[in-house]
Each structure stands twice: as structure tokens, then as C-alpha cells.
Amino acid sequence: MPTRKQRRRREKLKRHEYEYVIETEEGEEIAVESPREARGRDKGRDEQRKPARGQPTRGGRVVPEPSFGRVLRRSAVFAPLMALVIYFLSRNEPNFSYGQLLFTVLLLLAFFMPFSYMVDVLVYRMAQRRQQRERTSRRS
């Protein structure tokens, strides 16, 4: 048979709305506010501060503006990978040369870089439209 203390603990766990309580020496339970509410009250101005520009207000990923610098960094990552794939796929050919490898990689980069920039522009515009729709739906 459970003791009174064990029954009280079990009852506390079975409550639908979990309350924060303090037990006194006499066994009375006194409801207190949650630590989150107390923490928010202590911060004061920090809670009222708006999020920094570029940070999402409701979660989600911030989509940066498209830039050629980002495309160049991405190309610097993919160029060696392209070179390795082309090297391993064409090394058994009789007329294989490193000049051909370099030419092929540069040709692929000539298609990859503008395509990558256009994809960045497309993703950025879609994110801007989505944010605009959310702003107008919140105002309504």
C-alpha cells in the first residue's frame, strides 16, 4: 500500500495541467508560477527587443540574397569533385590528357556557375514571396 507521500506524487503526475507547486512542512501544496514566466519577468527589456534583421521571427531558414561570391565558393567546392569524376571515368581512354580534363571541367563550370546563380535567385524570390504572404495574412 502506497504511503500518503507516494499517493500525492502520483496524483501530481496525473494532473492534466502540470502545475508548479511547493510543498510546505505541513504537506500543503502552494502553486507557484512556472520558471519560464519568472525568467521572462526578470529579463524585462530583453523580451521586448525585436529579433535582429535577417533572423526569422517564427523559425525557419533565412535565405540569403544571391551573390556571385557564394557561387564562386560553391564552384570552388564542386570543381575538384567534377575533375575527379571526369578523371576516373576517362582515364582508360587512349588519348586522355590533362588538358582535356581541364577543358572539360572549365566547360562544365561555365554551365554550372550561371545555373547555380539562377537557382539562388529563384529560391530567394520564392522565400521573399512566402514572407510577403505571411505578413499580409498576419495583418488580416
pLDDT by residue, tens only, the chain of 140 residues: 889 988 888 777 666 555 667 777 787 777 777 655 655 665 555 545 555 565 555 657 788 999 999 999 999 999 999 999 999 999 888 888 999 999 999 999 999 999 999 999 999 999 999 989 888 888 87
pTM, full prediction: 0.55
Which three cell numbers, joined as nine digits, stand for 9? 506524487
- SS3 (DSSP) at 117: helix
Q: How many Å separate Cα 111 from the centre of its chain?
A: 29
What are φ and ψ of residue 39, in 5° steps?
-65, -40
Task: Decide if 101 contacts 83 (C-beta within 8 A).
Answer: yes
User: Domain spans of the chain?
Assistant: 4-46, 68-139
